[in-house]
Structure 1
Amino acid sequence: MSKIRITKQFSFEAGHALHGYDGKCRNLHGHSYYLYVTVIGSPIQDDKNVKHGMVIDFGDLKKIVKDEIVDVFDHSMIFNKNTPHLELATDLKNRGHNVILVDYQPTTEMMIIDFAKKIKKRLPNNIELHSLKLQETATSFAEWYASENE
């Protein structure tokens, strides 16, 4: 049976600051992120299955990514909880802001690793996460491939 890759694009707005960084990104700032999620599998061959001919219903993939990533990270401030930014994060949370504390420096590279783990755990057994692309600006992005992270 043929293996087919299915890709769905998502977007969300988020801010972050990179503690200890030697450039402008040490300051609070935000991005319009674009996340491309590619899964791989074989189309369902059972003609009695309502998903006949699909690798995965785009709606099912959308639910997974929205639940795990988009709805969580959209319009949030992301901080590494192991830095002095924790004080700022706590103050923002107390003022009603959506703040996410992570165990890593919130770079595009580290965020995509986190996203891969979250999406992989929710996929059906017959579907594999093939790759992710997280675009931070019009000209900058990170890519994650399962084949390089086994």
Structure 2
Amino acid sequence: MSTIRITKQFTFETAHALYGYDGKCKNVHGHSYKLSVTVIGTPIDDPNNVKYGMVIDFGDLKKIVNKEIVDIFDHATIFNKNTPHVELAEILKNNGHHVILVDYQPSSEMMVIDFAEKIKAQLPESLQLHSLKLQETETCYAEWYASDNV
């Protein structure tokens, strides 16, 4: 049976600030992120299995990514918990805002690494995460490939 890659795309809105950065992104701002998740595996070859012919049901992949990423990061503000933004985070939280404190600079590059670890941990053993593409704007994105991280 052939090895196949399948991809599902997701969108979510998230704000962040890059503490210590020397450009405009040091300010709190938001993006309409597009996340492409590609997994690799062999289609199920058991004709009695309801998922026959699928590497993974797109709906099952959607459940994993929504639970681990989209439902958490959508309409949230992300700050590095090791910066003075923690003070702003507390003010926002106290006013009912959804704030996530992470232990990294919340750049697209670091977010895609975090997302890869979260998704890999939830995939069935028969599948591997092949790649992620996190598009921050129409012209800017970060990519993560399993083959680059062996």
Shorter-chain TM range is over 0.9
> Which deviations, in whole Å up to 9, do the C-alpha atoms of 1:80-133 show, x marking residues without a partner?
000000000011001100000000000000000000000000000000000000
Cα distance in 2 for partners of 1:51, 1:17 equals 42
- What corresponds to 1:10 in structure 2? 10
Residue 137 of structure 1 aligns to a residue whose secondary structure is coil
Query: Which residue identity does 2:96 align to in structure 1?
Result: G
Q: Which runs of 5+ in 1 are unaligned?
A: none
Deviating runs (4+, > 3 A) in structure 1?
none
Q: CA deviation at 1:134?
A: 0.1
Cα distance in 2 for partners of 1:107, 1:37 equals 18
Cα distance in 2 for partners of 1:129, 1:27 equals 33
Query: Which residue identity does 1:24 align to in structure 2?
Result: K
- What corresponds to 2:28 in structure 1? 28
Aligned length: 150
CA RMSD of aligned residues (A): 0.3
- Structural mapping, 1:115-130, within 5 Å: 115-130=115-130
Identity value in percent:
74
Cα distance in 2 for partners of 1:45, 1:21 equals 51
Q: What's the TM-score once normalised by structure 1's chain length?
A: 0.99
Q: What's the TM-score once normalised by structure 2's chain length?
A: 0.99
Cα distance in 2 for partners of 1:90, 1:111 equals 21
> Which deviations, in whole Å up to 9, do the C-alpha atoms of 1:17-66 show, x marking residues without a partner?
00000000000100000000000000000000000000000000000000
- What corresponds to 1:107 in structure 2? 107
Q: Which runs of 5+ in 2 are unaligned?
A: none
